Amino acid sequence: MRFACHGECPKHRFTRTPEGEWGLNYLRAGYKLFFNQIDPYMIDPYMQFMASELRRYRPPADVMHLFQRAI
């Protein structure tokens, strides 16, 4: 799941790994479940769009407009 979250925000890394090491992202289990259930080719255009928006210093939430047109 690292391809999607890159370790996620440090503020979310406050649980322990199974080995007892601090710094595990508490959202990891949810990310793992989600990304194992979806087809990555289905969401790739949306992820690419959000990355493009971030590079242009625009809100990635603008993807919702793109998503609404796809429904």
pLDDT tier, 55 (very low <50, low <70, confident <90, very high otherwise): very high
Query: Measured between alpha carbons, how far is 70 from 7 in angstroms, rounded to an integer?
Result: 30
Q: Which amino acid is at 52?
A: S
Quick one: pLDDT band at residue 58, thresholds 50, 70, 90?
very high
pLDDT at 65: 82
**Distance of alpha carbon 37 from alpha carbon 65, whole angstroms:** 24
CB–CB of 58/47 below 8 Å?
Answer: no
CB atoms within 10 A of CB 52: 13
Residues sharing a CB contact under 8 Å with residue 45, sequence separation 6 or more, in sequence order: 66
Q: What is the mean pLDDT of the chain?
A: 76
Confidence band, pLDDT 50/70/90 cuts, at residue 56: very high
What pTM did the predictor assign? 0.49
- Looking at residue 2, what is its pLDDT? 59
